Amino acid sequence: MAKSVMKAELREKAGKGSSRALRREDKIPAVIYGDKKEPTLVTLSRVDLVKELNKGGFMNTSYEVQVGKDKETVLPRDVQFHPVSDWPLHVDFLRLAKGASLNVMIPIHFTGDEVCLGIKAGGILSVVRHEVEFNCPADAIPESIVIDISELDMNDSIHISAVSLPENVTPVIDDRDFTIATIAAPSGLKSSDEEDEEGVAEGEEGEEETTEEGGEE
């Protein structure tokens, strides 16, 4: 995935007073840390940051933060928002070392639902995990994992072992083959099936009783 570029400026002071003053100037304080280096205090344009947030997937998008002529490859790790206005107040970026890997929550998207066998038969896509945590190369974090469900039938499930993953992307949970989604029968169909099964069972029991009574005669 190509890195997005975000311009930033160095800031000299930390603290609540300085941060409030920056926000009045439509600047958002941020910090870049990690890779065994000293944290770097920067500010971002609030307009630019809000644009990136509105695109979606901000927390699993790697960025090139440009400060003057220098660039830092980073990944957002935390965003603080105002409790009333919902404006961003502060951003923490993790500095990414070359060749590093990290654990990231990746959203799961589904395709093929319009031709899915189970859904066409009246089933419902029941999503167990909308996101899955994966270990990924820091410079190749997938925007999403796409799963084709077109061949799933009623009551079929798709497990992580059946998902095609990008190179060097592995699930953090590796001790079990967990379920991602299931094509579930709707409750009305389940009730109907259960009643049919009960009716068959009762009929079989009645036949057995009749046979036993006839034998005694």
Answer with the one of 47, 78, 96 that is the final residue of a domain: 96
> Shortest CA distance to 92 belongs to which of 160, 8, 18, 32?
32
pLDDT tens, residue by residue, 186-208:
875 555 555 555 554 555 555 55
Verdict on whether the full-model pTM lies above 0.75: no
When mean pLDDT is compared across 41-45, 131-135, 142-146, the lowest value belongs to 142-146
Residues above pLDDT 90, as percent of the chain? 62
Do 160 and 180 reside in the same domain of the chain?
yes
Q: For 78-85, which contacts have Cβ atoms below 8 Å and span 24 or more sequence positions?
A: 79/53
What per-residue confidence (pLDDT) applies to 211? 47
**Contact status, residue 104 vs residue 60, Cβ threshold 8 Å:** yes
Q: Do 74 and 109 belong to one domain?
A: no
> Does residue 35 form part of some domain?
yes
The least confident of 59-63, 114-118, 164-168, 185-189 is 185-189
107 and 75 share a domain? no
Judge if 111 and 38 occupy the same domain: no
Mean pLDDT across 7-23: 88
User: Which residues span the domain enclosing 184?
Assistant: 102-189
Together in a domain, 47 and 90: yes
> Are both 90 and 108 inside the same structural domain?
no
Of the pLDDT bands very low, low, confident and very high (cuts 50, 70, 90), residue 62 is confident
Q: Identify the CA nearest to 150 among candidates 114, 107, 108.
A: 114
Q: Report the CATH number that the domain containing residue 159 is assigned in CATH.
A: 2.170.120.20
Structural domains in the chain (count): 2
Q: Which of 36, 65, 96 is the last residue before a domain boundary?
A: 96
